[in-house]
């Protein structure tokens, strides 16, 4: 096993662990089966951010694009994003597709 393939495998394991940790917590149910989970800032959100399977959305425009993209199944909303829960709900309602959303929380500042 090469160093690059071992590193990629470790990144996949970290992303899977971060996803599982977030999904073990309560979620907020949104329109059309979308679910909004919180994920801790730090290694967990970093693992999702580095995974190629998650769209990172920090504005309504990027969230709209991710919701319209059929290849995207998961979305990470980073801490400090210009999105409100009401705005996220409107976008989910408008697109009528099921996606899993993760909202980054915690870290060095108060929530």
Average pLDDT of span 99-106:
96
For residue 63, tell me if it sits in a domain.
Answer: yes
Q: What is the mean pLDDT of the chain?
A: 90
By residue range, what is the domain housing residue 49?
A: 3-105
Residue 13 has pLDDT above 70, yes or no: yes
**Burial class of residue 104, CB neighbours in 10 A (0-12, 13-18, 19+):** buried
Distance of alpha carbon 35 from alpha carbon 109, whole angstroms? 25
For residue 95, tell me if it sits in a domain.
Answer: yes
For residue 110, tell me if it sits in a domain.
Answer: no
* Cα distance between the two ends of the chain: 42
β-partners of residue 40 are 105
Q: Residue 15: how many CB atoms within 10 A of its CB?
A: 21
For residue 8, tell me if it sits in a domain.
Answer: yes
pLDDT digits (tens, 9 = 90+) for 26-75: 899 999 999 999 999 999 999 999 988 899 999 999 999 999 999 999 99
Indicate if the alpha-carbon torsion angle 32, 30, 77, 62 is positive or negative: positive
Number of domains in the chain: 1
Distance of alpha carbon 64 from alpha carbon 109, whole angstroms? 28
């Amino acid at each position: 096993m090469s160093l690059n393939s071992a590193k990629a495998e470790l990144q996949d394991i970290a992303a899977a662990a971060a996803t599982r940790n977030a999904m073990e917590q309560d979620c907020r149910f949104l329109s059309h089966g979308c679910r909004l989970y919180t994920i801790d800032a730090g290694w967990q959100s970093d693992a999702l951010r580095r995974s190629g399977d998650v769209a990172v959305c920090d504005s309504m425009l990027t969230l709209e694009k991710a919701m319209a993209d059929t290849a995207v199944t998961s979305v990470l909303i980073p801490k400090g994003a210009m999105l409100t829960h009401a705005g996220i709900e409107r976008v989910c309602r408008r697109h009528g597709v099921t996606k899993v959303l993760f909202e980054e929380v915690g870290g060095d500042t108060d929530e």
